[in-house]
Amino acid sequence: MTCCLTRLALGLAVALSLSGCGDAPLAADADAGDAPPFDRSDLSDAAVSAPDAEVEDASVSSDTAGALPDTLPVVDLAEVSPDSDATPPSTAPLGGDRPAAVYLPPGYEPATPRPLIFLLHGFSATGQLQDGYLGFHDAATAAGFIAVVPEGTRNPAGVQFWNADPAWCCNHFGSDVDDVAYLLSLVDEAKARFAVEPDRVYLLGHSNGGFMSYRMACEHADVFAGIVSIAGSTVQDPADCQPSAPLTVLQVHGTLDAVIAYLGVPSQYPGARTVVDRWVAHDGCDPEPLVSRGHDYDGLVLGDETTRYVWDGCDGGALVGLWSMRGSGHVPIFRAAFLPAVFDFLRSH
pLDDT at 14: 58
pLDDT tens digits for range 71-97: 333 433 334 444 445 677 878 899 999
Q: What are φ and ψ of residue 23, in 5° steps?
A: -70, 115
* 3-state SS, residue 266: coil
Quote the percentage of the chain above a pLDDT of 70. 75
Q: What are φ and ψ of residue 212, in 5° steps?
A: -65, -40
pLDDT at 28: 32
pLDDT at 80: 41
Quote the percentage of the chain above a pLDDT of 90. 69
pLDDT at 26: 30
Cβ partners under 8 Å of residue 56, min gap 6: none
Cβ partners under 8 Å of residue 144, min gap 6: 105, 114, 115
Higher per-residue pLDDT: 47 or 205: 205
Domains of the chain, by residue range, sit at 2-347
Indicate if the pLDDT at residue 138 is higher than 90: yes
Note the CATH number of domain 2-347.
Answer: 3.40.50.1820
Indicate if the pLDDT at residue 34 is higher than 70: no
Higher per-residue pLDDT: 172 or 121: 121
pLDDT tier, 111 (very low <50, low <70, confident <90, very high otherwise):
very high
Q: What are φ and ψ of residue 272, in 5° steps?
A: -60, -45
- CA dist 158 and 162 (Å) reads 13
Of 24, 4, 125, nearest in space to 333 by CA: 24
Indicate if the pLDDT at residue 221 is higher than 90: yes
CB atoms within 10 A of CB 268: 17
pLDDT at 200: 98
pLDDT at 269: 96
pLDDT at 60: 54
pLDDT tens digits for range 275-304: 999 999 999 999 999 999 999 999 999 999
Contact 280, 287 (CB under 8 A): yes
CB atoms within 10 A of CB 290: 20
Choose the weakest-confidence range: 17-26, 78-87, 103-112, 322-331: 17-26
Of 130, 296, 310, nearest in space to 204 by CA: 130
pTM recorded for the entire structure: 0.82
Tell me what the pLDDT averaged over the chain comes to. Answer: 83
- CA dist 284 and 275 (Å) reads 14
pLDDT tier, 64 (very low <50, low <70, confident <90, very high otherwise):
very low
pLDDT at 174: 86
Cα 303 to chain centroid, rounded? 23
pLDDT tens digits for range 234-248: 999 999 999 999 999
> Which H helix or E strand runs over 136?
helix 136-142
Of 127, 90, 116, 137, nearest in space to 190 by CA: 116
pLDDT at 84: 44
